[in-house]
């Protein structure tokens, strides 16, 4: 099992690690990872690793069996030997862009209080699909609500609850298509705001900014009808 350093500190850009396995696809598994693996609509991190006598670009990271995280080069590449100590470093500009968009999408699920049926994150933009019957979407009004919340500089923090506690509070789960990250007996909750200023609390295994003020200016892009009830809303993060 790979220790997920990105959960301990989403702002950690580099860390050491030890190679514990090679994958059949030509990647490596480390004992601990600063690289976030693709999941929950958030892309895996890219970057590079170096070791005594070598360097490998990392095109992405992915979940593997047994709680492992595999670092995958973009093409066939020489790998550090098993047991080697390496220095791993993520593409911070790309990761931080994903963090800003991910937190922004949590706010979008606040101003559109409907079940979420899908979503994705990329640099500078993301989208959520909602279980929404035919309705007019006022893009300017949604953007105004989003930016008003962000300007309040609300802290983004985490809590942990047990699987049983989550089962007793099903209202915390907003996503219909992505199950909360389970498996270790406890579930991570991401909270935006606190006390009377709390605006959101939901299970999430992704990386987020520390404060809504770090998101930047948000605007609503195009909206699409996906099926009889699903509506897709694109969100752009600028600045």
Quick one: 198 and 234 in the same domain? yes
The model's pTM is: 0.93
On whether both 109 and 7 belong to a single domain, the answer is no
Task: Reply yes or no on whether the pLDDT at 234 is more than 90.
Answer: yes
The parent domain of residue 130 ranges over 95-238
Residues 119 and 217 placed together within one structural domain of the fold: yes
- DSSP string of the chain? --EEHHHH-TT--EEEEEEEEE-TTS-EEESEESSPPSBTTBPPP-EEEEETTEEEEE-EEEE-GGG-EEEE-SS----PPTT-EEEEEE-HHHHHHHHHHHHHHHHHHHHS-S-EEEEEEETTEEEEEEE--S----HHHHHHHHHHHHTT--BEEEEEEEHHHHHT-GGG--BSSS----SSSEEEEEEES-GGG--EEEE--S---SBGGGS-EEEEEEEEEETTTEEEEEEEEE-
Q: Is the pLDDT of residue 7 over 60?
A: yes
Q: What is the mean pLDDT of residues 143-172?
A: 90
Residues 63 and 113 in one domain: no
Q: Residue 176 pLDDT > 70, yes or no?
A: no
What pLDDT score does 76 carry?
80
Which pLDDT does position 229 carry in this prediction?
A: 80
Does 224 lie in the same domain as 107?
A: yes
Mean pLDDT of 154-175: 86
State the pLDDT at residue 179.
63
Q: Do 145 and 34 share a structural domain?
A: no
pLDDT per residue over 47-82, tens digit each?
A: 999 999 899 999 999 999 989 999 999 888 889 999
Shared-domain flag, residues 184 and 113 = yes
Position 180 scores a pLDDT of 64
| Confidence category of residue 136, pLDDT binned at 50, 70, 90 | confident
Confidence of residue 182 (pLDDT cuts 50, 70, 90): low
Instruction: Give the percent of the chain with pLDDT over 70.
Output: 96
């Amino acid at each position: 099992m790979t220790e997920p350093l990105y959960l301990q500190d989403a702002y950690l850009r580099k860390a050491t690690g030890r190679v514990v396995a090679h994958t059949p696809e030509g990647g490596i598994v480390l004992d601990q990872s600063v690289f976030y693996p693709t999941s929950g609509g958030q892309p895996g991190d890219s970057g590079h690793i170096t070791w005594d006598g070598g360097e490998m670009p990392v095109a992405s990271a992915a979940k593997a069996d047994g709680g492992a995280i595999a670092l995958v080069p973009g093409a066939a590449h020489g790998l550090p030997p098993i047991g080697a100590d390496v220095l791993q470093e993520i593409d911070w500009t790309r990761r931080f862009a994903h963090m800003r968009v991910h937190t922004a999408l949590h706010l979008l699920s606040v101003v559109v209080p409907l079940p979420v049926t899908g979503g994705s994150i990329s640099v500078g933009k993301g989208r959520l699909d909602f279980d929404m019957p035919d309705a007019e979407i006022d893009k300017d009004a949604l953007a105004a609500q989003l930016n008003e919340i962000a300007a309040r500089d609300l802290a983004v923090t985490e809590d942990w609850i047990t699987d049983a506690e989550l089962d007793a509070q099903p209202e915390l789960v907003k996503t219909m298509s992505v199950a909360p990250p389970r498996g270790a007996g406890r579930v991570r909750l991401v909270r935006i705001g606190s006390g009377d200023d709390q605006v959101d609390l939901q299970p999430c295994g992704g990386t987020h900014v520390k404060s809504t003020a770090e998101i930047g200016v948000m605007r609503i892009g195009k909206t699409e009808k996906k099926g009889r009830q699903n509506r897709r809303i694109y969100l752009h993060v600028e600045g």
